[in-house]
Structure 1
Amino acid sequence: PQYYPIKKGYYQHITFNDDAMIGVMRLLRDVAQHKPDYAFVDEARSTQADKSVARGIECILKTQIVVRGKRTVWCAQHDEVTLAPAAARAYEHVSLSGQESVAIVEFLMGIEHPDARVVEAIESAVKWFQSAQVNGVRWVETTSTPVDHVVVGDGNAPPLWARFYEIETNRAIFSGRDSVIKYSVAEIESERRNGYRWYTDKPAQLLNRDYPAWVKRVAPAKTALN
């Protein structure tokens, strides 16, 4: 859950949004591995943390969204019982997350001896990130008053990724507080357009630096980038 004591509503979901669950998983892994900052933790609690990490990894693998037989990435939230992708706030629909999924993959790449399922999860997510990049545009803040955020064409712009993608079509989606899905960020109200991070460049570092380093360390010869 996102909060404890548990609150009704989307707070009960498995929450990848804003890296909530992954932050907890990193903490538990550091405790389990006896990192210096947690040297004060006794063996019994370290052992319990290790078991919790294993259960968390199992949850991550089971929640990876499969579309037409292919693994993709994750939703920002998943139902805590069915593990299905779940909505949260009015503008946070069931979708594929182009931002939160980055931290999930990075966490999985931190597993020292990944098994075949973990490797498959990473490779599949990397392929999805490659397919989902948005090229030829920038997400910029205007100099007008009031300030606005707009998408502008730029053939030299580095790739971006949308925060959310429609699961079946892989189209970027956007929504205001009316919860109506739009396919252009310009179509939602100014308050939400300027008050939420609709585009991200986080996957670029994953693809260009972190994934190749992981491949060199542990992955089999046949990889998504070959």
Structure 2
Amino acid sequence: MKQGVLALLFASLLSVGIAGGPAAAAGTPDLWYHPKPLSADWQAFHAQSARDLALLEQQLNSELAGAKLSAPLPAVKAKNFGLDAISNSAQLQAVLSYQTVLGGWSKRTDMQQVRKPGQLAGSEPAYIPTFDNGATSSQMRWLAAYYPKATAADQAKIRSALTLAVQFVLRAQYPNGGFAQSYPLRGSYHDAVTLNDNVMTDLLNLLWDIANAPEYQWLNADLRSKAQTGFAKGVAWLVAAQVSVNGQGTVWTAQHHPLSGEPVAARKFEQISLVSSESAAVLQLLLDKAPEQPGVLPALCSGVAWLAQHQIRDKVWQRDDAGSKLVEKKGAQIWARFYSLPQQQPVFFDRDGKVYHDVNQLSLERQQGYGWYQSNAKNVLKAWKKKPELAAQCASPVTL
């Protein structure tokens, strides 16, 4: 293959930073910089990531050579995947054709038609497998849901593909239990442990289901056991990473440092701040699937209390061509997407990276293009009310 955009991409992703991880892009923080060498398990993870990235390149180069192409064919972009389930064998073959040799899938890619030899597995420049925007977890759930309806031949393909996919998810999990946005590692904020858009909770819910739900019971028992272990490691990471302010537990941020667990920023309009929506998803996960795991109950007590204290009552957020505003609505409950640290007050960011305290100060494009207020946390408060036996064990009463 010629030294084109893709080759340059792989070269940059394979480059090694001071700590042995991918080098950060210009102007972005290097999450892997550390004055001391990484521990053996983290060094092994980085080495594994570099090998896996090279394997992706080898797969594509082999396809290009076989198809006599000098450059890869582009993938078709789609907001999601062009479909939201597998309902027939043709769709199954198409989705399977986009599974990478590592076992994961890309995002924002139309997967309705079978991928051609030499065609990229994703529509974005960094087409490596990702967990962002529901990628990989969605395809894995589709495969499991279609399995009972598939022919014997297609079931064999699903068993092979889903086994590889589960192994991929477990392979991508950090030694401390967290998950980056993508794997192999890409550098910059992509390597942070990512709660944004529910990446972490989607994967942990998936691992729990693989270990416990009936639709995955046909998978290898040892693999399901490893999924349960991966789930428990992820929950332990969440408990340890819960942000504390002045000794009081709060919730989580959208991204956390892969090594220290400290909050880190992502894009300019996603600065360090507590997040309501993703934290609500974390608390729902802990409440539903891990209430007995060590450390979970205190995390639930403080997290639910924080959501209750920071809700905005009797208002809804409305957007139109002129901008956005909060409107009175009796009985409504909403939360700002972001809360400042350490003040814990609603905060908003624009593409210029500046901090604002009123959503109407943002550019029109950002007001219309981002969900600055959320309401899903109310479901956690409802679910908590149904668990009085847990609330009774909290060190301090949780007032809803």
Question: Shared fold (TM-score greater than 0.5)?
Answer: yes
Amino acid at match of 1:182: Y
Question: What is the CA-CA distance between 1:221 and the residue it aligns to?
Answer: 5.1
Q: Residues of 1 paired with 2:345 and 2:183: CA distance?
A: 34
3-state SS of 1:159 partner: strand
Question: What is the CA-CA distance between 1:138 and the residue it aligns to?
Answer: 2.5
Q: Residues of 1 paired with 2:294 and 2:388: CA distance?
A: 14
- Residue in structure 1 matched with residue 188 of structure 2 by the alignment: 9
Matched-pair identity in %: 28
- Residue in structure 2 matched with residue 24 of structure 1 by the alignment: 203
- Cα displacement string for residues 92-144 of structure 1 (whole angstroms, at most 9, x for unaligned residues): 011110111010000000235514621110010111011111234321123xx
Tell me if structure 2 keeps the 8 A contact 1:161–1:200.
Answer: yes
Question: What is the CA-CA distance between 1:219 and the residue it aligns to?
Answer: 4.5
Q: Residues of 2 paired with 1:80 and 1:4: CA distance?
A: 13
Tell me if structure 2 keeps the 8 A contact 1:134–1:160.
Answer: yes
Q: Is residue 178 of structure 1 aligned with residue 178 of structure 2? A: no
Calculate the TM-score normalised by the size of structure 1: 0.90
Q: Residues of 1 paired with 2:258 and 2:272: CA distance?
A: 14
5+ long unaligned stretches in structure 2: 1-179
Question: What is the CA-CA distance between 1:86 and the residue it aligns to?
Answer: 1.0
Q: Residues of 1 paired with 2:242 and 2:299: CA distance?
A: 8
Q: 1:210 aligns with which of 383, 390, 398?
A: 383
Q: 2:217 aligns with which of 39, 58, 62?
A: 39
Compare 18-27 and 132-141 and name the one that shifted more: 132-141
Tell me if structure 1 keeps the 8 A contact 2:346–2:357.
Answer: yes
Q: 2:326 aligns with which of 129, 140, 152?
A: 152
Amino acid at match of 1:170: Q
Q: Residues of 1 paired with 2:185 and 2:247: CA distance?
A: 34
Structure 1 or 2, whichever has the larger Rg, is: 2
Q: Residues of 1 paired with 2:233 and 2:294: CA distance?
A: 17
Q: Residues of 1 paired with 2:367 and 2:251: CA distance?
A: 24
- Residue in structure 2 matched with residue 95 of structure 1 by the alignment: 273
Aligned residues: 219
Q: Is residue 220 of structure 1 aligned with residue 396 of structure 2? A: no
Decide whether aligned partners of structure 1 residues 152 and 53 sit closer, same or farther in structure 2, where only a CA change above 3 A counts.
closer
Q: Is residue 107 of structure 1 aligned with residue 280 of structure 2? A: no
- Residue in structure 1 matched with residue 109 of structure 2 by the alignment: none
Q: Residues of 2 paired with 1:91 and 1:113: CA distance?
A: 34
RMSD (CA atoms): 1.8
Q: Residues of 2 paired with 1:210 and 1:67: CA distance?
A: 25
- Cα displacement string for residues 167-209 of structure 1 (whole angstroms, at most 9, x for unaligned residues): 21111010110010100011111111110000011111211x2
Amino acid at match of 1:154: E
Calculate the TM-score normalised by the size of structure 2: 0.52
Tell me if structure 2 keeps the 8 A contact 1:138–1:157.
Answer: no
Q: Residues of 1 paired with 2:234 and 2:290: CA distance?
A: 16
Q: Residues of 2 paired with 1:49 and 1:115: CA distance?
A: 16
Q: Is residue 122 of structure 1 aligned with residue 300 of structure 2? A: yes
Decide whether aligned partners of structure 1 residues 78 and 91 sit closer, same or farther in structure 2, where only a CA change above 3 A counts.
same
Q: Residues of 1 paired with 2:220 and 2:391: CA distance?
A: 34
Question: What is the CA-CA distance between 1:213 and the residue it aligns to?
Answer: 1.8
Tell me if structure 1 keeps the 8 A contact 2:318–2:327.
Answer: no
- Residue in structure 2 matched with residue 194 of structure 1 by the alignment: 368
Tell me if structure 1 keeps the 8 A contact 2:317–2:327.
Answer: no
Q: Is residue 140 of structure 1 aligned with residue 313 of structure 2? A: no
5+ long unaligned stretches in structure 1: none
3-state SS of 2:252 partner: coil
Q: Residues of 2 paired with 1:151 and 1:173: CA distance?
A: 15
Question: What is the CA-CA distance between 1:225 and the residue it aligns to?
Answer: 3.4
- Residue in structure 2 matched with residue 168 of structure 1 by the alignment: 342
Question: What is the CA-CA distance between 1:215 and the residue it aligns to?
Answer: 3.0
